[in-house]
Structure formats: C-alpha cells, structure tokens
Amino acid sequence: MIRSTLVAAGLIASSSHAWAHGTGWRLTDEKAVTVELYYADGEEMPFADVRVFSPLDQASPVLHGRADARGRIAFVPDRDGTWTVIASDGDGHGVNAPIPVTLGAVAIQPTRAPLEMRLMLIGSVVLNVSLLLFAWSRFAISRRHTAQIRA
C-alpha cells in the first residue's frame, strides 16, 4: 500500500502537468503607447474601465483593463493603423480615442476638448451661477418678508 502511494506521488510529481502553472516575467524593449484619460476640465480620469481595439478588429478588444490612478493606460501595438481606446468612468463619462500608430513612431497629436464639450461646460457654469443667484434672491426676499410679518 505504501509502495503504490509513493509510486503514484512520484508519477504526479514528475508529470509535465504538475509544472504547467509556473509563471515568469521578463523586460522587453518594445515601444508602448501611453494614453492619458481626462475630463473636459483637465482633471484626470483615474481607474477608468478601458478597452483597446486593433485596426483589424474593432469588435473584440486586444486589451481590457483599468487606467492607473493618474488616468493613464499603455499598450504595445503590433501593427500600423488606427487603434481605438474606449474608456468609461462608470458615471456616464467616456472617451473614444482614435490613436494613429506607425510602428517605430507614434503620431502624437495634442488634443483638447471638442468645441461642443467646451460650450456645454461654459453653458453649465452660466446656468448654475444663474440658478444660484435666483435661489439666493428668492431666499433674501422670503427672509425680508418674514421679518416684516414679525415686526
């Protein structure tokens, strides 16, 4: 009985399947593309859910993960073309960034928020300030009216 147990243990230990879950790592000198994700006001978009699509397949992501605490992601393209980075913060904000890649050199284009987004931000600020002033004036009128009634 002991002999058969030792033989079975030896077979298991020497089988190739016993080593199939080993891991390793190595440094490479491949050029990565780094993308910074941010909101219209320039604030970083930390830990956004990110998907990266190759020029050959815009349906299945080649990478799915999260941005870091500073809203950055990196990927190593394996072909020329326009790669797509789609990110979402989970609160309704998202980025859909086409990234032109030429192996050996990435075409870095400075970006700024689209005109529509900037106009919406300005409109939102104006509307919020207007509503705040309106509410404050109503409060002041109500307060004066209450003071007159008490007097």
Q: How confident is the model at residue 66 (pLDDT cuts 50, 70, 90)?
A: very high
Q: CA 39 to CA 45: how far, in whole Å?
A: 6
- What's the pLDDT at 30? 83
Q: CA 48 to CA 73: how far, in whole Å?
A: 9
pTM: 0.58
Query: Which architecture, in CATH terms, is 29-111?
Result: Sandwich (2.60)
The 3-state DSSP class for residue 8 equals helix
Q: According to DSSP H, which parts of the chain are helical?
A: 2-14, 115-150
Kindly give the pairing relationship between strand 33-36 and strand 72-75: antiparallel
Tell me what the pLDDT averaged over the chain comes to.
82
* Cβ pair 99, 33 in contact under 8 A: yes
pLDDT tens column, 3-17: 555 555 555 555 444
pLDDT tens column, 120-142: 778 888 888 888 888 888 888 87
Which candidate, 101, 91, 93, 92, places its Cα nearest to that of 35?
A: 101
Mean pLDDT, residues 14-39: 78
Percent of the chain with pLDDT over 70: 77
Q: CA 81 to CA 62: how far, in whole Å?
A: 14
The answer for 29, left when phi > 0, alpha when psi is -120 to 50, beta otherwise, is alpha
- For the chain, the structural domain boundaries read 29-111, 112-151
- What's the pLDDT at 16? 47
